[in-house]
Amino acid sequence: MTAAGICGSDVGIYHGTNAAATYPRIIGHEMVGVVAETGASVQKLKVGDRVIVNQVTSCGHCYPCSKGRGNVCDHLKVRGVHIDGGYREFIAVPEADCYILPDSISDRDAVMIEPTTIAIQSCTRAELEKDDMLLIYGSGALGSSILKIASQICDHIIVADIQDDKLETAKANGAEHTINVLNEDLVEKVKRIHPYAWSNRIHRCCLQQGFTDPPFKCHRKRRKGHHHGIFNCSHRDQSVCHNSQGA
Ligand SMILES: [Zn+2]
Ligand SMILES: [Zn+2]
């Protein structure tokens, strides 16, 4: 292994506050490495290939797996959480769990691929469009990743957080407005920024200590179907979209 990220959930596993983790555990679920050896049945990978390793392992036999949804496998195990992860010299994984990296992405940058996929997935599920008003509630690792992806799509992004330095970074990265919820009334400010925001998309992510749940519900109907929903991308919920169809 050549690099592994430190995720918010790793901090929880280290401190014994992550309910999902079992112990003893080698953490690390954003993993980058170089192939050192291949088994007899390996077909495409070769020694020296730089790869990222899928954190999710699935059984391949249950109903979700039969529908190609190994990410919600009945027997799902996450490397670094339920089974050992990437904070070690060597790891043995199936070939199918490895993705070859282009030379243009460094090992350290490649660690961010996993959170970036969460950001892309949450923007896709939110069916984000150019004229939407998006509120990102929390600007930690995932919130700022979502900002980077969302700013490629959407022109009107508000970022709320409790730390001014994070809000300054958010502005530099494409947030049109920022709100420090410790000093400003979130609801009032959003209403001032966009009087129709309540009928638009509310996107919440990465709640951290000091945040309460946002004092509103998303009032927007999804484009497909008629489900209201807050898109909660806090790490605890792994991008689970509450109250929506096809979660
Ligand atoms: Zn993580
Ligand atoms: Zn399965």
DSSP line for 1-53 = --EE---HHHHHHHHT--TT--SS----SSEEEE-----TT--S--TT-EEEE
Q: How many A from CA of 141 to the centre of ligand 1? A: 9
Q: How many A from CA of 95 to the centre of ligand 2? A: 18
Q: Where does residue 61 rank: exposed (0-12), middle (13-18), buried (19+ CB within 10 A)?
A: exposed
SS3 state at 55:
coil
Q: How many angstroms separate the CA atoms of 178 and 46, rounded?
A: 47
> Which pLDDT score, from 0 to 100, does residue 6 have?
93
What is the number of the ligand closest to the CA of 5? 1
Q: How many A from CA of 106 to the centre of ligand 1? A: 19
Q: How many A from CA of 94 to the centre of ligand 1? A: 21
Q: How many A from CA of 115 to the centre of ligand 1? A: 7
> Which pLDDT score, from 0 to 100, does residue 40 have?
96
Q: How many A from CA of 238 to the centre of ligand 2? A: 18
Q: How many A from CA of 8 to the centre of ligand 1? A: 6
**Structural domains in the chain, sorted by start:** 3-111 (3.90.180.10), 116-237 (3.40.50.720)
What is the number of the ligand closest to the CA of 6? 1
CA torsion through residues 91, 84, 71, 124, sign = negative
Q: How many angstroms separate the CA atoms of 21 and 82, rounded?
A: 5
Q: Where does residue 4 rank: exposed (0-12), middle (13-18), buried (19+ CB within 10 A)?
A: buried
What is the number of the ligand closest to the CA of 66? 2
What is the number of the ligand closest to the CA of 117? 1
**Closest to 76 in 3D by CA, of 57, 97, 61:** 57
Q: How many angstroms separate the CA atoms of 163 and 53, rounded?
A: 33
Q: How many A from CA of 85 to the centre of ligand 1? A: 12
> Per-residue confidence of the chain (247 residues) as pLDDT tens digits?
999 999 888 999 999 999 999 999 999 999 999 999 999 999 999 999 999 999 999 999 999 999 999 989 999 999 999 999 999 999 999 999 999 999 999 999 999 999 999 899 888 888 888 887 888 888 988 889 999 999 999 888 999 999 999 999 999 999 999 999 999 998 888 878 876 655 455 554 444 444 555 555 444 444 443 333 344 444 333 333 333 222 2
User: How many other CB atoms are found less than 10 A from the CB of residue 54?
Assistant: 20
What is the number of the ligand closest to the CA of 4? 1
Q: Where does residue 56 rank: exposed (0-12), middle (13-18), buried (19+ CB within 10 A)?
A: middle
Q: How many A from CA of 155 to the centre of ligand 2? A: 39
Whether residue 18 contacts residue 12, with contact meaning beta carbons closer than 8 Å, is answered with yes
> Which pLDDT score, from 0 to 100, does residue 127 have?
82
Q: How many angstroms separate the CA atoms of 131 and 225, rounded?
A: 20
Using alpha carbons only, give the angle 17, 20, 25 rounded to the nearest 5 degrees: 80
> Which pLDDT score, from 0 to 100, does residue 220 have?
43
Q: How many angstroms separate the CA atoms of 129 and 123, rounded?
A: 9
**Closest to 138 in 3D by CA, of 196, 179, 194:** 179
Q: How many A from CA of 36 to the centre of ligand 1? A: 25
The model carries a pTM of 0.75
